[in-house]
């Protein structure tokens, strides 16, 4: 029976990799439906993403690939299908609502298994869609204690592939982030690295910029410094105060976050040297 798989390979670059990999696919009788490669010549790194179809045993394919690849190669075989995601949010509904509407239309390769928020405000919206909502208030709690409870909430939803910070306005500790390496996607409301930190729209207004933006990125240990997945901008004028910039910016935020989420769900992102290689 035909299987569809996404094969993701990254390894040290050397001569003949495309030949060796495509030979394995050919020997297994697989069709390469789509294929993208990238060589980072400066760092001697090779990246490849193939969509293959055929009759095969994934373990054997994986083994055959490993046999021809340089030592230390990372090989991932991913079967297309719905990934399990948890959304986190604070008070604003635009990113959260946007993902809920896409989910409702079955536009995402994902099942939203639950939503966690530090407020109870968004519960009515989320529960309209029959999705579990857990409020973990941060009030009166130390950061580690709050995060411990958030983790418990997430775990209560079962296994999780990605956590999407859909305007979750609290900083996460390295300990929390370490539990979900390269699996937490955040939307920051500026074109990073401009306006790191709190209230970037206010910062943008004060600086008098003519363009504002949004950045979706994986979360790492340093605030707003993780690998960037997607960015977009929109023009602003002197006539807009910072609340107007914030309102206008929401449309960019939600579209950029959804774009990044889709790339992740479709296994189109490699992370390397705090940057992303994206085969869109």
The catalytic residues are 224
Positions in 166-225 near a second copy (CB under 8 A): 191-195, 207-211, 213
As measured in angstroms, the least distance from the Cβ of 194 to a second copy is 4
Give every CB contact of residue 236 below 8 A, 6+ residues apart in sequence. Answer: 204, 209, 210, 211, 212, 245, 248
Which of residues 4, 111, 161, 251 is near a second copy by CB under 8 A?
251
Q: What is the β-pairing status of strands 74-78 and 3-12?
A: antiparallel
Residue 88 and residue 163 in contact, taking contact as beta carbons nearer than 8 Å: yes
Q: In whole angstroms, what is the distance from residue 165 CA to residue 185 CA?
A: 6
As measured in angstroms, the least distance from the Cβ of 139 to a second copy is 23
Give the residue with the Cβ less far from a second copy, 18 or 169: 18
Looking at the DSSP bridge assignments, the partners of residue 53 are: 4, 31
As measured in angstroms, the least distance from the Cβ of 48 to a second copy is 10
Give every CB contact of residue 67 below 8 A, 6+ residues apart in sequence. Answer: none
Give the residue with the Cβ less far from a second copy, 29 or 174: 29
DSSP structure string for 167-191 = S--SPPPHHHHHTTTT-EEEEESSS
Give 245: exposed, middle or buried? Use CB within 10 Å, 0-12, 13-18, 19+: buried
Which of residues 65, 83, 86, 98 is near a second copy by CB under 8 A?
98
As measured in angstroms, the least distance from the Cβ of 71 to a second copy is 20
Total residues at the site for a second copy (CB under 8 A)?
Answer: 66
Binding residues vs a second copy (CB under 8 A): 15-16, 18-19, 22-23, 25-26, 31-35, 37-39, 41-42, 92-94, 97-98, 100-102, 104-105, 107, 125, 128-129, 191-195, 207-211, 213, 227-233, 235, 237-239, 241, 247, 251, 255, 258-259, 273-278
């Amino acid at each position: 029976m035909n299987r569809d798989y996404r094969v993701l390979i990254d390894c040290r670059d050397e001569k003949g990799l495309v030949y060796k990999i495509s030979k394995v696919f050919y020997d297994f009788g697989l069709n390469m439906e789509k294929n993208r490669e990238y060589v980072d010549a400066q760092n001697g790194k090779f990246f490849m993403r193939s969509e293959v179809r055929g009759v095969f045993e994934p373990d054997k394919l994986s083994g055959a690939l490993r046999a021809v690849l340089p030592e230390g190669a990372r090989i991932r075989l991913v079967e297309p299908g719905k990934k399990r995601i948890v959304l986190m949010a604070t008070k604003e509904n635009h990113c959260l609502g946007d993902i809920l509407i896409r989910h409702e239309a079955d536009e995402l390769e994902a099942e939203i298994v639950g939503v966690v928020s530090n407020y109870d405000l968004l519960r009515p919206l989320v529960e309209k869609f029959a999705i579990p909502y857990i409020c973990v208030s941060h009030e009166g709690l130390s950061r580690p204690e709050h995060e411990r409870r958030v983790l418990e909430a997430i775990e209560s939803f079962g296994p999780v592939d990605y956590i999407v910070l859909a305007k979750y306005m609290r900083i996460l500790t390295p300990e929390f982030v370490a539990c979900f390496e390269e699996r937490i996607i955040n939307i920051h409301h500026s074109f990073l690295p401009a306006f790191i930190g709190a209230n970037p729209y206010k910062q943008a207004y004060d600086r008098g910029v003519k363009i504002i933006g949004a950045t979706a990125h994986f979360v790492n240990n340093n605030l707003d410094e993780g690998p960037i997945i997607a960015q977009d901008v929109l023009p602003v004028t002197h006539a807009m105060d910072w609340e107007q910039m914030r309102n206008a910016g929401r449309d960019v935020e939600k579209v950029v976050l959804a774009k990044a989420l889709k790339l992740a769900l479709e296994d189109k992102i490699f992370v390397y040297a705090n940057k992303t290689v994206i085969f869109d």
